[in-house]
Structure 1
């Protein structure tokens, strides 16, 4: 799933293409919105909210889209061949005199009165990249679930919105936290964890490449993410890979068992891949 910085950058580019312009084509290729036509509407602005994109119109309506795992927006000059995928994957087309914005495999597409945006995104926690970021509120929400695994809690968009699996994994490593530690057992390190995740996202939001090490070269750009079985960049211990999260919502999690050694008991049924733990997804080797 795209991270919040990916959506932030996409919204910035969409805003540059659409803000202040009148739509010459506003087409939906979804059964529930097939009869809706936005042609003639003027776009006021395009803003991100966590992993959601909000396209606000001058007539006080808002179009919300979400990427989930496979969605994307592509921007073309009129007459340019669309290259984002087959035509049957197109969900929304928004065109002006100068640009064509084509949404592929978009999810959670909905339109509401702008004053009712909370119906769509009101459940989200503070936006890590938003102008109204509130660290104290994010920490309050995390601490409200002391028995949750910290790796699950930081991905819960109701606590703070924007971070995805990449920034979860990398921020946990950089703060030395075991992904399966209980939130209540790492209370003193929650603030450094959240601050680190935000710092990493701020550093990457203006570019498509995502580096957490400061090195943009492929293979050197992450500390532990995508590096199962490879030596930790700090201690040379092989990186582990485990499956974390509620059933059917599991996310692969990478970590160093030495740099992120658990300082308190973790869930004995956690699928960590560590020796002695049941139901391992993968172990180094």
Structure 2
């Protein structure tokens, strides 16, 4: 390309910063490899042959593609392009921190493709283990994240969700003991041990064992069952923004139970650049 533009071996060698003999040798090797002459040697320079004119635009495209490939590799190494799969529990999606962090990450790294996956905490842990997820927002029990790198987000208080026509509805806060004897709707322990165990423990500390009337596979369906009058439930505070008709919320008086939320990724192996960038955005956001 340099020779075609300069039409002279010596001038082209100067532009390239190499000697003229090595450049001539490289062109000879190329021509021998192709089996054609790329240049007519003239008295005062060179010009492209028909073969050279056909070869030139494709050579330019090859150089451009190589430069683009190098740039893409560099961007990928910086975590600026590629893909990131983020998992979250249904209740985590209502926590304003979660969409806020994901939104900030999208703004900072628009070249990355982000896939969002909603799963139970139990499935999120499995998906992280088998490397089908890069990052997860989840509510793990003690010991469930020993093989993961985690960053703990602020805990949320659990609130009481009541049917709107319930005898205790309309009060700003309630003692947990006031729910003794009430039918409870719980998130299944198989889907996430932390919330289930925290609710059972809080009720027992208040002096009663909850009467479990129904289990709901998702936190949103828990609230819908409360609206239907099936029972009462304890839900993370951020769920209170789910204004389902027929549901009212009340604080738990005193030191009520808390819901823990963490961001986790695999500990084993090198941390992918996109994951490293996500955790950096998380640190700046929280």
Task: Classify the TM-score, shorter chain.
Answer: under 0.3
- Given the two structures, how large is their TM-score scaled by the length of structure 2? 0.23
Identify the structure with bigger relative contact order (alpha carbons < 8 Å, sequence gap 6+).
Answer: 2
**Rg larger in structure:** 2
The structure in which a higher percent of residues are helix is: 2
